[in-house]
Structure 1
């Protein structure tokens, strides 16, 4: 297959969301003095935040909640687990988190190297991300990834979300690519792999966590460096 357009996911695929988020939440825990609100253990706080963030992102993807509800209510529900019903604090936590998170720069190993390799081979590189427009562009800027991508398609900009077919169709229209010359590269089976498959687009499952997938992607890699074996 003669691919010309490579559509990358950003979070958890190139940009190490989990590590960057954990660093930011550690800073938040100290700066906002959460220990004075009954949250002494950062590990306990982090575990509950991850639980609520995952659950609310799933609801957001399915259209059950709005963006702003996702942002502050993941903090609100986390506080409630520690018997703290403080909406002002939850909103302050949201602001702190989204101000600092995009400035983090941790990438998965060989991210820059593989993007340079693919660009030098003549592929057109793009992003399809469910993240928020301003936040995602800030991540790209601070981590040195901006210059690699010709088009950045966000859920906010496209008015759709992976895995819905519409965001992939929007990406093809925006880039002038066809289905046959395009491939999606991402870490999320539902959003990236199933979504692309349903849009007729081939996929590379970037399986950093060595998870056994419930379906067979077009390709699977376990590290970004392995993309050299495909392209």
Structure 2
């Protein structure tokens, strides 16, 4: 086999973050009666939240904000779009989001089938994620995939975020493998693909909605099932 170790991203690659986040936010919208607070519909609430959350995660990856600011500001800034200011409610929403989200179990199609296939072929499987340690482990536990992975490397344990090389080097050292016999599967070009490439690791760009133009990766797939043709 060309590759001896397989590294996966978690969110948007195996664990369907968008589906699970929407379900969580729908619960919070109803639970806290946000329509009565001046947010006309869940669809408007989510549209605003999604844009703000993406921008804040980009700032978090670049080291401009910490995780507590991320958790609070994604709700406080969303509320400002609707001319609402309520720091206590934002704090409650931030805490509840972290409680509820990891209990959701939606995975991308073929996730279990591919993980079973790779385990049967005796590939050591590992995870590299920018998510928070406790949250990511709970996601994996509730969705039934935690036991597939030998090492789970989060940005908290590594002290570094993708795409920085340090987190990939940390994962390689922890797993006892080299870049040349490893492969990384992820969905974000400037985080998973660029980071792995800079660390000397071959990459699989998972693009279920179609690949962005100009992205250079070792392989590109639209379905996890296609990994069977590579590994």
Shorter-chain TM-score: what band? over 0.9
- Give CA-to-partner distance per residue, 1:143-192, whole Å, 9 cap, x none: 00011000000001111000000000010111111011111100000110
What residue is the counterpart of 2:200 in the other structure? 200
Structure-2 separation of matches of 1:26 and 1:215: 34
What residue is the counterpart of 2:230 in the other structure? 230
2:129 aligned with 1:113: no
| Contact 2:6–2:183 (Cα < 8 Å) also in 1 | yes
- SS in structure 1 of the partner of residue 162 of structure 2: coil
- Give CA-to-partner distance per residue, 1:198-219, whole Å, 9 cap, x none: 1111000011111324222001
- SS in structure 2 of the partner of residue 37 of structure 1: coil
What residue is the counterpart of 2:215 in the other structure? 215
Structure-2 separation of matches of 1:175 and 1:139: 22
- SS in structure 2 of the partner of residue 128 of structure 1: strand
Aligned length: 231
Structure 1: 4+ residue segments shifted above 4 A = none
- Give CA-to-partner distance per residue, 1:100-149, whole Å, 9 cap, x none: 00000000011000000001101110000000000000000000001100
Structure-1 separation of matches of 2:208 and 2:29: 28
Structure 1 gaps, min length 5: none
What residue is the counterpart of 2:184 in the other structure? 184
Structure-1 separation of matches of 2:209 and 2:55: 20
What residue is the counterpart of 2:141 in the other structure? 141
Structure-1 separation of matches of 2:159 and 2:71: 17
- Give CA-to-partner distance per residue, 1:30-58, whole Å, 9 cap, x none: 00111121012100000000011000000
| Contact 2:211–2:220 (Cα < 8 Å) also in 1 | no
2:71 aligned with 1:71: yes
Structure-2 separation of matches of 1:142 and 1:213: 35
Structure-2 separation of matches of 1:213 and 1:118: 29
Q: What pairs with 1:37-186 in structure 2 (closer than 5 Å)?
A: 37-186=37-186
Structure-1 separation of matches of 2:211 and 2:78: 27
